[in-house]
Structure 1
Amino acid sequence: MASAESQPRFGQSVKGLLSDKVGSCSGDVIALTRQVLKGSRSQELLGQAARNMVIQEDAILHSEDVSMNIIHSQQTQCVEHSKNLQDQLRHLLK
């Protein structure tokens, strides 16, 4: 009856192995969950960084437009002032 004695031992070792395997799988699931959450958070941060960069780029482009409009306005005023001075000078020289 050696097989009758070995049967409970074999059953116990299978239960032990199964318990170890379940524990290992649980640990793997927990680690995977943590990794997915980290990845999700990383994606959130990357998305926010991209949105911030777009906002900054828009602000830079807007400030360039404003600067160009100011420069153009000043140039127009200078040209008009120069024409006025030339007209006055021509009038004085007549």
Structure 2
Amino acid sequence: MASAESQPRFGQSVKGLLSDKVGSCSGDVIALTRQVLKGSRSQELLGQAARNMVIQEDAILHSEDVSSIKIYSHVEHSKNLQDQLRHLLK
């Protein structure tokens, strides 16, 4: 009968160990899910940062082009004014 008594205890300890293992695995799955979500969010933020950098670069290049055109226009206008002044002073 001693073996009959040890059988339920053995079954209970196996169930307890199995329950602990399932709980541990569930915790690991939750932790892994959190890490995957963080990684996904990080990728999303990196992608947005890259898009923002491209937009800023385009804006800077466009700004340089516009500035160059404005400077050229001002230089041309200044030359025209100088020519007019020279003509008037003759």
Per the shorter chain, which TM-score range?
Answer: 0.7 to 0.9
TM normalised by structure 2 equals 0.77
- Give the superposed CA RMSD: 3.0
Identity of aligned residues (%): 96
CA change 1:17–1:38 in 2 (3 A) is same
Say yes or no: does 1:84 pair with 2:55: no
Larger Rg: 1
Unaligned runs of 5+ in 2: none
Unaligned runs of 5+ in 1: 74-78
Cα distance, 1:38 vs structure 2: 1.1
Partners in 1 of 2:36 and 2:72 — Cα distance? 54
- The alignment of Structure 1 onto Structure 2 pairs a total of residues equal to 89
Say yes or no: does 1:45 pair with 2:45: yes
CA change 1:84–1:41 in 2 (3 A) is closer
TM normalised by structure 1 equals 0.75
Cα distance, 1:80 vs structure 2: 6.5
Runs of 4 or more, structure 1, over 6 Å off, are: 79-94
Cα distance, 1:5 vs structure 2: 1.7
Partners in 2 of 1:31 and 1:7 — Cα distance? 36
